[in-house]
């Protein structure tokens, strides 16, 4: 079932389009990765889908036209994680996660017991349950990112828009975060669009990859279906000449590995 349909989306800043005429759709239960070189429009695309930037074209989320919904109304349907968190207040981790329920609360309404239980469970899921009453500012950058991820999970949104959520995470936590995301998507019949710099994460955890270059969608990769040679050809357009290999881990699971080939002078 189509959860999100995007038609001819263009957006930018100061009257200049950064992304141009992008169209794609997302099925329920999918994780869609967005890959491209720096400055290609990945963040602009995510912000446009979250209706945070003026844009042309339209986005249909389930039966709702995104452009016609208020910011609070869209926040009830869609969870958004920007590249950098803007939380500067001295809040506990629990308070930060509870902020994810603000779009559902009316003026002066207090959170329900179920909301509080969901917040606690989300913190436990990301490994921060024992620190839920610590000051958010005392966390490392990676721990802060996991807390923000917990806030997004607690709200049980159907669509998650994640802009480089792995950027502050170490090697182990990057894979842990992607596994948590996979579990969330499967358990809640949700979908996610995620921009990534780590191509290994994208190739091994995303159901489909949107390849952006100079603000345009130049191709789509389905790692489980697209041939190695086709993937190499498309990824080389954004990263320079690369090669892909399939390796098996100790459990016998097949993994894709990307290597940058030396440029000939």
181-185 long-range CB contacts below 8 Å, 24 or more apart? 181/31, 181/149, 181/205, 182/31, 184/153, 184/160, 185/29, 185/30, 185/31, 185/160
Can you say whether the dihedral through the CA atoms of 176, 178, 179, 185 is positive or negative? Answer: positive
Backbone angles phi, psi at 174, to 5 degrees: -60, -45
Residue 250 has pLDDT above 90, yes or no: no
Domain count, the chain: 1
Residue 241 has pLDDT above 90, yes or no: yes
Model confidence over 179-203: pLDDT tens digits? 999 999 999 999 999 999 888 899 9
Residue 38 has pLDDT above 80, yes or no: yes
Name the more confident of 203 and 253: 203
SS3 category, 35: strand
Determine, yes or no, domain membership for 154: yes
- Mean pLDDT for the chain? 93
CA distance 59 to 38: 24
pLDDT value of residue 10: 98
CA distance 12 to 15: 7
Determine, yes or no, domain membership for 180: yes
Residue 265 has pLDDT above 70, yes or no: no
Q: What is the CATH number of the domain that holds 87?
A: 3.40.50.300
- Total-model pTM: 0.93
Determine, yes or no, domain membership for 265: no
- Domain extent, residue 217, equals 2-260
Model confidence over 119-165: pLDDT tens digits? 999 999 999 999 999 999 999 999 999 999 999 999 999 999 999 99
């Amino acid at each position: 079932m189509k959860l999100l349909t995007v038609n001819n989306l263009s957006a930018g800043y100061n009257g200049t389009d950064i992304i141009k005429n992008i169209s794609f759709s997302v099925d329920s239960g999918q994780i869609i990765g967005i890959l491209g070189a720096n400055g290609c429009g990945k963040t602009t695309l995510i912000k446009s889908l979250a209706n945070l930037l003026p844009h042309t074209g339209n986005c249909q989320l389930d039966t709702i036209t995104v452009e016609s919904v208020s910011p609070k109304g869209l926040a009830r349907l869609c969870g958004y994680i920007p590249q950098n968190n803007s939380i500067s207040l001295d809040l506990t981790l629990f308070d930060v996660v509870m902020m994810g329920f603000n779009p559902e609360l009316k003026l002066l309404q207090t959170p329900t017991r179920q909301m509080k239980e969901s917040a606690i469970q989300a913190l436990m899921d990301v490994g921060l349950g024992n620190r839920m009453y610590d000051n958010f500012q005392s966390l490392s950058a990676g721990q802060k990112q996991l807390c923000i991820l917990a806030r997004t999970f607690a709200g049980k949104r159907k669509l998650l828009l994640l802009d480089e959520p792995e950027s502050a995470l170490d090697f182990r936590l990057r894979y842990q975060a992607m596994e948590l995301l996979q579990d969330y998507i499967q358990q809640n019949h949700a979908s996610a669009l995620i921009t990534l710099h780590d191509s290994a994460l994208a190739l091994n955890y995303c159901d489909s990859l949107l390849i952006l270059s100079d603000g345009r969608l130049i191709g789509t990769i389905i790692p489980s279906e697209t041939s190695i040679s086709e993937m190499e050809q498309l990824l080389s357009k954004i990263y320079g000449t690369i090669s892909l290999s399939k390796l098996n881990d100790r459990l016998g699971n097949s993994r894709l590995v990307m290597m940058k080939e030396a440029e000939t002078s």
